């Protein structure tokens, strides 16, 4: 096939066509044998789809996972952030087939498949011996692309159920395959990839490539959520894979001894990292979340030059009067779910060079030298104090809207500029150390996830004691001298404790909706001001109307 795809051409074509056809119009006519001049060219082609994957793993995909669940919200803050009701639609489970996050995720999934198929088509035609490369290397490169295609389809299955299965760029106007067919396709791709991917050796750095353990972990994830995907429990199959990864069958990995080792500026050196996306200042930066999370004056807190737009925050743990939501619901309240003494619960402080502590912006907002940072809206020229509550506290007082705090409503429409605790999962240096900015790679799969998957599988298979021990193996690093004040035990382990453990360890890592669905909690449970949405069809998003307009062979999901 004489082609070399322009990403701009592909993006526009997919946007307009709704992925009617994956083969696009090409701006040049170049055969692989003449285009590829060196190993560098091979690597460029191989990793081009990975740059799309990096974009895909954040932004709208993150938003679908987190703003629809119990840990995060974008409240309306006075004159800001109503956004035509978009944020409330996702929070209250009222999204539609016309919503942009849904369309962007459908399109982004199939665009990723197209890019990986294109690279696979070109590399499969190459004679690697001309570049003094082995057939084993070629098989490994192609296996990476198979695993990447499987990753995109795994996310698509999670969001939408069955999708069209493309195996070449020549296919067009394909109907949706069934959930079971897509599940089997993902399983086939990953099993084949595992056979040809290299395993990590001791001392290897994580640089973004998919190794054997990453493909095995994706297969374990597929089985782990199989009941939600195809109505079939496969926890024993997931347990086997997870145990093998822990036992180093697929490569040499071990838990990091520090809680922030897998999130810090040098996290590509962490022995826990199974798959991550590289990030570097002024290059491919893992930074999309910055504007969403932070107040526009938070630049003074970080001693940085970056402004935020003050949108997202943790859902509140406390009512306006200070009482806890935990008394009314077993989900949500993410900040209070952390135990006292948990090193992660501390306010974020950058200590210079590459050292920092804590991962939250909470309480009085101050510069590194201790000066108060003031607001510009409800608290104009007044010190900012980030609270674990949602309510219009500025409207309480004599001759104001509310005479007492007890009258304050707490819901999505009632935020202020200081509403909600802000997450700093990715460390931010000051300007003096600006070369470190965005130095932390984006974790995709880490060994602690494998431990937690294994623990949940053991629980579901009746082995509570082993499940508790696995959770505690990870938990202990989060406390001084590894003294955990609230370990998981046979007596306290249940559905809600396990959901709490997932919430604490993986807060803000773009997985919460999936965990709730696996536990049948996404549409049946209450949190903060979100009441059960009751209909199981909401466990999947609709096929976007723009996709159906571009391909009338597509059918809509039930209930939409």
Q: How far apart are CA 463 and CA 465, in angstroms?
A: 6
Q: Give the containing element (helix H, strand E) for 212.
A: helix 212-224
Number of residues that make up the chain: 560
Rounded to an integer, the average pLDDT of 329-338 is: 97
Tokens describing residue 169? 């760029």
Query: Which residues share a beta bridge with 360?
Result: 347, 423
Q: How far apart are CA 332 and CA 461, in angstroms?
A: 26
What pLDDT, on the 0 to 100 scale, is given for residue 238? Answer: 98
Q: Which residue has the tokens 């907002």?
A: 365
Instruction: Return mean pLDDT, the chain.
Output: 92
* pLDDT tens string 130-152: 999 999 999 999 999 999 999 99
What pLDDT, on the 0 to 100 scale, is given for residue 29? Answer: 44
What pLDDT, on the 0 to 100 scale, is given for residue 99? Answer: 96
Whole-structure pTM value: 0.93
Confidence check: pLDDT of 27 > 50: no
Q: How many CA atoms lie within 13 A of 90 on its CB side?
A: 27
Confidence check: pLDDT of 458 > 70: yes
Rounded to an integer, the average pLDDT of 434-458 is: 95
Tokens describing residue 515? 């965990």
Q: Give the containing element (helix H, strand E) for 187.
A: helix 179-196
Nearest C-alpha neighbor of 99 from the set 515, 415, 511, 538 = 538
Can you spell out the DSSP letters for 55-102?
HHTSHHHHHHHHTTSSSEEE--BTTBS-GGGHHHHHHTT---TT-HHH
Residue 403, Cβ density class (10 Å: 0-12 exposed, 13-18 middle, ≥19 buried): exposed
Confidence check: pLDDT of 282 > 80: no
What pLDDT, on the 0 to 100 scale, is given for residue 32? Answer: 62
Q: Which residue has the tokens 């696995």?
A: 470
What pLDDT, on the 0 to 100 scale, is given for residue 146? Answer: 98
Rounded to an integer, the average pLDDT of 346-366 is: 96
Q: How far apart are CA 213 and CA 203, in angstroms?
A: 15
Rounded to an integer, the average pLDDT of 235-244 is: 98
Fold of 7-197+544-550: 1.25.40
Confidence check: pLDDT of 215 > 80: yes
pLDDT bracket for residue 21 (50, 70, 90)? low
Q: Are the beta carbons of 348 and 429 closer than 8 angstroms?
A: no
* pLDDT tens string 55-71: 999 999 999 999 999 99
Q: Are the beta carbons of 298 and 308 closer than 8 angstroms?
A: yes
Q: Which residue has the tokens 């506290």?
A: 393
Exposure string of 456-480, with b = 16+ CB inside 10 Å and e = fewer, is bbbbbeeebeebbbbbbebbbbbbe
What pLDDT, on the 0 to 100 scale, is given for residue 16? Answer: 36
Nearest C-alpha neighbor of 206 from the set 298, 275, 140, 287 = 275
Cα 118 to Cα 30, 48, 162, 354, 378, distances in angstroms: 13, 10, 22, 40, 52
Rounded to an integer, the average pLDDT of 342-367 is: 97
pLDDT bracket for residue 18 (50, 70, 90)? very low
Helix or strand or coil: residue 279? Answer: coil
* pLDDT tens string 89-132: 999 999 999 999 999 999 999 999 999 999 999 999 999 999 99
pLDDT bracket for residue 201 (50, 70, 90)? confident
Q: Are the beta carbons of 61 and 155 closer than 8 angstroms?
A: yes
Residue 515, Cβ density class (10 Å: 0-12 exposed, 13-18 middle, ≥19 buried): buried
Dmax (CA) of the chain: 82
Rounded to an integer, the average pLDDT of 430-442 is: 93
| Parallel, antiparallel or unpaired: strands 72-74 and 312-314 | antiparallel
Q: Is the CA virtual torsion 72, 488, 355, 368 positive or negative?
A: positive
Q: Which residue has the tokens 């296996």?
A: 143
Rounded to an integer, the average pLDDT of 180-209 is: 93
Q: How far apart are CA 162 and CA 554, in angstroms?
A: 10
Q: Where are the domains of the chain?
A: 7-197+544-550, 295-439
pLDDT bracket for residue 281 (50, 70, 90)? confident
What pLDDT, on the 0 to 100 scale, is given for residue 34? Answer: 62
Confidence check: pLDDT of 1 > 60: no
Can you spell out the DSSP letters for 10-73?
HHHHHHHHTSSBS----S----HHHH--SHHHHHHHHHHHHHHHHHHTSHHHHHHHHTTSSSEE
Q: Which residue has the tokens 């619960």?
A: 345
**Helix-then-strand count for the chain, H and E:** 19, 10
Cα 2 to Cα 5, 118, 168, 308, 529, distances in angstroms: 10, 11, 14, 45, 56
Nearest C-alpha neighbor of 3 from the set 114, 144, 150, 110 = 114
pLDDT bracket for residue 33 (50, 70, 90)? low
Range from 53-67, 281-295, 511-525 carrying the lowest mean pLDDT: 281-295
């Amino acid at each position: 096939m004489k082609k070399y795809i322009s990403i701009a051409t592909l993006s526009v074509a997919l946007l307009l066509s709704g992925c009617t056809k994956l083969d696009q119009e090409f701006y040049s006519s170049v055969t692989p044998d003449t285009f590829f001049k060196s190993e560098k060219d091979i690597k460029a082609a191989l990793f081009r789809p990975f740059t799309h994957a990096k974009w895909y793993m954040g932004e709208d995909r993150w938003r679908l996972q987190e703003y629809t669940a119990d840990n995060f919200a974008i409240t309306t803050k006075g004159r800001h952030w109503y956004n035509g009701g978009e944020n409330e639609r996702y929070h209250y489970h009222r999204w539609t087939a016309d919503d942009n996050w849904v369309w962007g995720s459908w399109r982004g999934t199939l665009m990723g498949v197209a890019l990986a198929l294109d690279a696979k088509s070109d590399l499969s035609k190459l004679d690697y011996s001309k570049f003094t490369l082995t057939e084993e290397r070629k098989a490994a490169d192609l296996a990476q692309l198979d695993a990447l295609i499987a990753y995109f389809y795994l996310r698509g299955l999670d969001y939408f159920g069955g999708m069209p299965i493309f195996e070449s760029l020549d296919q067009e106007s394909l109907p949706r395959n069934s959930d079971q067919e897509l599940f089997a396709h993902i399983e086939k791709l990953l099993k084949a990839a595992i056979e040809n991917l290299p395993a990590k050796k001791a001392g290897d750095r994580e640089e973004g490539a998919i190794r054997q353990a990453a493909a095995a972990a994706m297969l374990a994830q597929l089985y782990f959520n199989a009941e939600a995907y195809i109505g079939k429990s496969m926890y024993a199959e997931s347990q086997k894979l997870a145990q093998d990864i822990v036992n180093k069958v697929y490569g040499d990995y071990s838990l990091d001894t520090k809680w922030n080792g897998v999130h810090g500026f040098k996290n590509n050196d962490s022995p826990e990292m199974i798959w991550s996306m590289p990030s570097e200042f002024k290059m491919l930066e893992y930074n999309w979340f910055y504007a969403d999370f932070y107040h526009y004056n938070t630049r003074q807190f970080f001693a940085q030059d970056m402004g935020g737009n003050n949108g997202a925050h943790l859902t509140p743990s406390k009512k306006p009067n200070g009482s806890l939501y935990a008394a009314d619901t077993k989900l949500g309240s993410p900040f209070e779910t952390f135990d006292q003494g948990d090193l992660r619960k501390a306010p974020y402080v950058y200590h210079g060079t590459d050292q920092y502590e804590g991962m939250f912006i909470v309480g009085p907002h101050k510069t590194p030298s201790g000066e108060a940072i003031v607001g510009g809206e409800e608290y104009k020229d007044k010190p900012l104090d980030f609270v674990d509550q949602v309510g219009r506290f500025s409207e309480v007082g004599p001759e104001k809207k509310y005479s007492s705090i007890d009258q304050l409503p707490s819901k999505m429409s009632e935020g202020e500029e200081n509403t909600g605790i802000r997450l700093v999962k990715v460390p931010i240096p000051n300007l003096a150390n600006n070369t470190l900015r965005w130095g932390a790679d984006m974790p995709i799969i880490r060994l602690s996830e494998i431990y937690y998957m294994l623990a949940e599988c053991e629980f579901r298979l009746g082995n509570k004691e082993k499940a508790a021990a696995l959770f505690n193996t990870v938990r202990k690093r989060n406390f001084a001298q590894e003294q955990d004040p609230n370990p998981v035990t046979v007596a306290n382990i249940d559905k809600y404790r396990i959901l709490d453990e997932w919430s604490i360890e993986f807060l803000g890592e773009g997985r919460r909706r999936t965990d709730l669905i696996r536990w049948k909690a996404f549409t049946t449970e209450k949190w903060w001001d979100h009441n059960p949405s009751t209909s199981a069809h909401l466990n999947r998003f609709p096929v976007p109307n723009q996709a159906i307009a571009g391909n009338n062979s597509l059918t809509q999901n039930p209930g939409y």
